[in-house]
Structures are given as structure tokens and as C-alpha cells.
Amino acid sequence: MREQRTRVDFKILLSLFFLALFLSGCVFFRKPTDAERYAIWSKKHGNEVLAYQQFLDEKAVGDIIPLSQLLKSARDWKKCKAEPYTMPPEELWPNIVPTLLVVKKFKTEGVFINPVAASVYRDPTLNACAGGSPGSKHMQLNAIDFDIDATPESLETLCNAWRTQGAELKLGLGFYTPTKIHLDTLGYRSWGTDFTHKTSLCLQTEPPVESKTSH
């Protein structure tokens, strides 16, 4: 009887061991979340991150987009074997301020619906790999690619803001898809999937087709 109980106890312990091993394996092989990736990356670049945040705060734009989004590199960072986040050169930091002020303005006016920054600064190598144009404003730290919630009404609101305020704001507005857009403040223009005004959602009635190309 005692020997039988010992066998049962051993089987239970063995089952618990394999269960624990399985669960630990699931945790080990689970893909990290964006928040976890940023926590790991920012820990390595702590002083730079603090300095950049201080600069943005001094310019009164530090609370418009979280740094965990503002430091994103490219949507295709994995394909390009890059890091998901990157610290732009300090000499370029002032370039992002005008674009952030437009983002703040559009948020206040209800032009954007839940904008999430997906790509900001890209160095020339990453920009080329990600399909960016040779003159991409991302390399100057003036452009932000966003994922947005899009409805016909919200897109018309965005386009109307570009039509009525774009010249004054020097607003560049690009559409990769209706929910993936580009914003910069280095020239009043709009484009779509072929990088010409012909496919801009703000200058046509048909939405552009899906595209993975970045600007």
C-alpha cells in the first residue's frame, strides 16, 4: 500500500514538473510586448532618453506623444534587422518641434482619432531598407508616420484641415492606406501610394490601395 502511494506521489510530482516546464517555456518563447521592448531599450539608453524628454519639455511639446512612440524607428525594423527604437542625433531634435505642434493642434481640434506614432526618425540605412524615399523627411526628424482610426467622416475632417491650414502650417500629408499616414512640416503637399498628388485621399474620391512603402 505504501509502495503504491509512493508511485502515485511520484507521478503527481512528475506531472507537476512537466507542467511547470511547459509553462516556463511558454513565457520564455512569448513575443515581448511593445511596452516590454521599450523598457529594455530605454534602460540601455537612459541618459539619452532623459535628455531628449527634457528638451521636449523645454519646448512645451513633451506631453503630446509618449516617448515610447516618438522613438520608434520603422515599421519594418525586423526585416531590416534594426532595433524597434532609435535615438535621433541631438542636432536634429529641434526639427521635430513644429510637427509635434501640429499634432497637438489637430488633437485639440479633433482632427485625429486615436493617433499612434509608428515611425519617426530613420537614419539613411534604415530609411533605404524600409522603402523610404531618398529625400525622406524622417531622416531629418521632421516626419511622423501614424496609425489612425479612419472613417469617411474622419478622413474628410483630416483632409479639410490640410486644405484650409496646410499652406500656413507647411503641412505634408501622405497616405499609405486610409489608416496609415505620414505627417511633416517641410512643405505643403499631399500624396498617396505612388507618392504623387494623384493618389492622395485629399485630392480624389477613391481610397488608395494598401501599400508598404514608407516616405
Q: Is 177 helix (H, G, I), strand (E, B) or coil?
A: strand
Q: Is 117 helix (H, G, I), strand (E, B) or coil?
A: strand
Show the cell assigned to 16.
507537476
Give me the percent of the chain exceeding a pLDDT of 90. Answer: 75
Residue-wise pLDDT tens digits, 142-179: 999 999 999 999 999 999 999 999 999 999 999 999 99
Q: How much is the pLDDT for 30?
A: 74
Query: Alpha-carbon distance 191 to 209, whole Å?
Result: 13
Q: Is 207 helix (H, G, I), strand (E, B) or coil?
A: coil
Residues of the chain with pLDDT under 70: 1-29, 205-215
Q: How much is the pLDDT for 167?
A: 97
What domains are there in the chain, each with its CATH number?
A: 45-203 (3.30.1380)
Q: How much is the pLDDT for 168?
A: 97
Q: How much is the pLDDT for 176?
A: 94
Among the residues of 59-209, which ranges form H helices?
67-70, 97-108, 124-129, 152-169
Neighbour tally for 67: CB within 10 Å: 16
Q: How much is the pLDDT for 15?
A: 62
Long-range contacts made by residues 105-109, C-beta under 8 angstroms, separation at least 24? 105/169, 106/158, 106/161, 107/64, 109/161
